[in-house]
């Protein structure tokens, strides 16, 4: 079952429909409900390798539905510590729980100040409203 539309208050957002949950010098990254809904049920996640470098505003992976492919944009720069194998094995987890079980990767941030430039939930909702 696809999740109901929601955007948690405790996350930082990127206008390309990605979120970050900052935990100390680490961050968990994923895509928002809007991105998952726009693509439809996900059937593939092409993740980065653990140890790889991700760069803010650049693609670090791809998510695919039956009909379309979409780059996943990094909201923050860092080193990949962990890939969510559950999403690799069952990509529809992203549709079912985009902010919980459907997280994509965990990184160690290399420039924590980048987080200051991310959107809070209100600003992200304004981005959605203007689309």
- Residues lying near another protein in the complex (CB under 8 A) are found at 2, 40-41, 43-44, 46, 62, 64-67, 69, 88
Smallest distance, Å, CB 44 to another protein? 5
Q: Both tokens of residue 61?
A: 């992976």
Smallest distance, Å, CB 75 to another protein? 22
* Identity of the residue, 9 or 67, whose beta carbon is nearer to another protein in the bound complex: 67
Smallest distance, Å, CB 59 to another protein? 10
* Identity of the residue, 8 or 40, whose beta carbon is nearer to another protein in the bound complex: 40
**How far is CA 8 from each of CA 13, 73, 100, 105, 122, rounded to the nearest angstrom?**
10, 19, 11, 18, 10
Contacts of residue 83, defined as CB under 8 A and 6 or more positions apart, other chains included, come to: 47, 48, 49, 50, 104, 105
């Amino acid at each position: 079952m696809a999740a109901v539309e929601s955007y948690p208050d405790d996350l930082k957002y990127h206008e390309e429909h990605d979120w970050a949950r900052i935990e100390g010098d680490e961050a968990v990254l994923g895509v928002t409900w809007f991105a998952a809904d726009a693509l439809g049920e996900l059937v593939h996640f092409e993740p980065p390798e653990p140890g790889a470098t991700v760069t803010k505003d650049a693609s670090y992976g791809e998510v695919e539905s039956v009909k379309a492919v979409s780059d996943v944009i990094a909201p923050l720069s860092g080193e990949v510590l962990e890939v969510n194998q559950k999403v690799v094995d069952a990509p529809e987890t992203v549709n079912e729980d985009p902010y919980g079980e459907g997280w994509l990767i965990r990184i160690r941030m290399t420039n924590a100040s980048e987080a200051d430039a991310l959107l809070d939930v209100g600003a992200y909702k304004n981005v959605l409203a203007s689309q």
